[in-house]
Amino acid sequence: MQVEQISVFLENKSGRLSEVTSILSEAKVNIRALALADTSDFGVLRLIVDDTEKARQTLKNNGFTVGKTNVVAVEVADRPGGLHDILTMLHNADLNVEYMYAFVRSSGDNAIMIFRFEKDQEAVQLLQSKGVNVIDGERLYQL
Amino acid sequence: MPREALESIQLRRLQTTLQRVYASVPFYRETFKAAGITPADIKTLKDLKYVPFTTKQDLRDNYPFNMFAVPMDNVVRIHASSGTTGQPTVVGYTARDVGTWSTLMARALSAGGAGRGDIIHNAYGYGLFTGGLGVHYGAERLGASVIPVSGGNTKRQVVIMKDFGATVITSTPSYALHLAEIAEDMGVSFASLKFKFGIFGAEPWSEKMREELERKLNLTAVDIYGLSEVMGPGVAIECHEAKKGLHVFEDHFIAEIVDPKTLEPLPYGETGELVFTSLTKEAFPVIRYRTRDITSLNPEPCVCGRTHVRMNRVTGRSDDMLIIRGVNVFPSQIESVLMEIKEVEPHYQLVVDREDNLDVLTVKVEVGERGFSDEVKGLQQLERRITKTIKELLGVSANVKLVEPKAIERSQGKAIRVVDNRQI
């Protein structure tokens, strides 16, 4: 139940982000979700795309430092407390969330959140045992 | 050659050179007179210490041709430094000088592992810079095949390396690493190429850089040294047998180490500024030329059998040396630190600013895939670790700034390692 995410190292210079989007657009890669974490000097752009390998290779060829990590896509009930319930489950099981961000699309009535866990196998098992829907990469890229 | 025989050749050639420059170069006649000496006063090699130094500024003051010791009719070649730090210095060669240079360069290539039958991929720049043509003529004199590929157009170079089956590469160490990166991007592995030796020079590099070059390029890397003011490449080279210090071709150049502050000669083994006197050059002899390069000389016998004294790696330049809040810092020291940290690429630049009367050193380091984390905290930890290591080893605090791959210019010639923005 893994989702592949690529991460790109960006210096904090104007135009760098649009360079990434332009390269991906030319390669006809669709961005499904994105989050940017930054400091005063640099940022790390995290992306979920419909063709991870193509995106990675194209960005690499254009001189970017690109990494690949596995993240987990979780369906979250679209109501007050939906996210809180899931975070409580994780907290009770002592499973740490490294970072999280929202997926652009929803699945039915539910929102989708992307989680990066320290122990992702255990987190997936826990969520599934509690009846939370974890979305597989192949389905997510095409959603 | 036994040292005694060598020294007797050196003395005879020195005396001839001094007489020639005194007679034909007004600059030398004036400085000798100001120092109260004539060439006849130099009776032993030890007397050389009474002869005044020549500096880069002296060469600039005599721009372009006033340091030449022969009429222009006899000058067949002119080279010049890049002039990045001011007015370029211009040097000339007679036909005999070009011949001597070729012979010394052939000798250097041979010590570095090349021979007849080798194909030399010469990626030093051709033109006013002495690197390209210096290696070129030496390779031809040696009887090797030389590919005059020069610098730049890197993707095409990778194709040529592959198709022509070159066995020896000559370039600056930073350009060699750039070639390795581009080759990797193109899916060409150096392990599949035929290179046996790499002869790298024109900028100082460290032992760690050697390991990196040997690993990435799958060859034996040796250090070559030269400068246009003294001749060009081929003043000194490491033998591939020992790879421990560069043999100075002492039958053509006298090397001295002096204290860069007091200018007093220092004994073998002590570190200071390298000074050269040319012994056989006709068009552009230099007398006690201050190279600004910081190194030491080692007279120990070498496993290769050569008796010429060895100069150790150039660790920096007396004018490139940064004094950061009173601490002497050479770029090579920072390079050694970075080479220990496997997550970063060996490409760096030191930027010094002065903020509120305090020196601030920024070390820009490129982030490679090995060190990359999708988490900001991982990258910040890496920055902190580099900062801590620099502080521990050099005693200076540096701001470490991670930059994107290839953000530090290096594709042509010499990488710019130091940017000093201090207005002092």
CB atoms within 10 A of CB A107: 17
**How many Cα atoms are found within 13 Å in the side-chain-facing hemisphere of A14?**
0
Q: What is the pLDDT of residues A81-99, one digit of tens each?
A: 999 999 999 999 999 999 9
Q: What is the pLDDT of residues B261-319, one digit of tens each?
A: 899 999 999 999 999 999 999 999 999 999 988 899 999 999 999 999 999 988 777 76
CA–CA min distance B203, chain A (Å): 25
Residue B206 structure tokens: 């460290």
pLDDT, chain A, mean = 90
**Closest-CA residue to B285 (of B79, B82, B15, B20):** B20
Residues in chain B: 424
**Closest-CA residue to B195 (of B158, B168, B225):** B168
Query: Can you give the pLDDT at residue B424?
Result: 47
Query: Can you give the pLDDT at residue B326?
Result: 67
**Closest-CA residue to B279 (of B33, B35, B41, B42):** B42
CATH number of A73-132: 3.30.70.260
Which of A65, A98, A100 has the highest number of chain B CBs within 10 A, making it the mutation to test binding with B? A65
* Distance from C-alpha of B66 to C-alpha of B20, rounded to nearest angstrom: 14
Contact A11 B185 (CB under 8 A): no
Contact A37 B368 (CB under 8 A): no
Q: What is the pLDDT of residues A24-83, one digit of tens each?
A: 999 999 998 999 988 888 999 999 999 999 999 999 989 899 999 999 999 998 889 999
- Determine what percent of chain A is predicted with pLDDT higher than 70: 100
Q: Where are the domains of chain A?
A: 3-70, 73-132
**Closest-CA residue to A33 (of A111, A125, A124):** A111
Cα B11–Cα B100–Cα B54 angle in degrees, nearest 5? 55
Domains A3-70 and A73-132 share a fold: no
φ/ψ (deg, to 5) at A98: -75, -50
CB atoms within 10 A of CB B135: 31
Distance of CA B216 to the CA centre of its chain: 21
**In terms of DSSP bridges, do strands A110-117 and B168-171 run parallel, antiparallel, or are they unpaired?**
unpaired
CA–CA min distance A109, chain B (Å): 30
- Listing DSSP states for A51-112 in one string gives -HHHHHHHHHHTT--EEEEEEEEEEEESSTTHHHHHHHHHHHTT--EEEEEEEEEEETTEEE
* Distance from C-alpha of B20 to C-alpha of B38, rounded to nearest angstrom: 12
With 0-12 CB in 10 A as exposed, 13-18 as middle and 19+ as buried, what is B344? buried
Please say whether the beta carbons of B144 and B138 come within 8 A. Answer: no
- Name the one residue in this structure whose structure tokens are 């002296």: B58
Query: Can you give the pLDDT at residue B414?
Result: 62
Strand pairing partners for B291? none
Residue of A nearest to B366 (CA): A65
What is the arrangement of strands in the sheet containing B232-238, beginning at the earlier edge strand?
A: B145-147, B119-122, B168-171, B197-201, B220-227, B232-238, B246-248, B310-311, B297-298
Enumerate chain A positions whose Cβ falls within 8 A of a Cβ in B. 5, 7, 9-11, 37-39, 41-44, 46, 60-61, 63-67, 69, 98-99, 116
**Closest-CA residue to B288 (of B70, B42, B8, B94):** B42
Distances (CA, A) of B75 to A101, B57, B79, B105, B192: 71, 23, 11, 20, 44
Query: Can you give the pLDDT at residue B412?
Result: 53
ipTM over 0.85: no
Residue of B nearest to A98 (CA): B375
CATH superfamily of A3-70: VC0802-like (3.30.2130.10)
The alpha helices in B171-309, defined as continuous H runs, are: 173-185, 207-217
Contact B379 A44 (CB under 8 A): yes
**Closest-CA residue to B329 (of B355, B312, B351):** B351
Q: Point out the residues of chain B with pLDDT beneath 70.
A: 82-86, 319-321, 326, 328, 410-415, 423-424
CA–CA min distance B408, chain A (Å): 12
CA–CA min distance B354, chain A (Å): 19
Q: Is the dihedral of CA B339, B295, B134, B238 positive or negative?
A: negative
pTM, whole model, 2 decimals?
0.69
* Distance from C-alpha of B213 to C-alpha of B204, rounded to nearest angstrom: 14
Query: Can you give the pLDDT at residue A108?
Result: 78
- Name the one residue in this structure whose structure tokens are 């990066």: A116
Please say whether the beta carbons of B17 and B285 come within 8 A. Answer: yes
Q: Looking at beta carbons, which pairs linking A130-135 to residues 24 or more positions away fall under 8 Å?
A: A130/A89, A132/A74, A132/A75, A132/A86, A132/A89, A133/A74, A133/A75, A133/A107, A134/A1, A134/A72, A134/A73, A134/A74, A134/A75, A135/A1, A135/A3, A135/A73, A135/A74, A135/A75, A135/A107
**In terms of DSSP bridges, do strands B418-420 and B310-311 run parallel, antiparallel, or are they unpaired?**
unpaired
Please say whether the beta carbons of B118 and B168 come within 8 A. Answer: yes
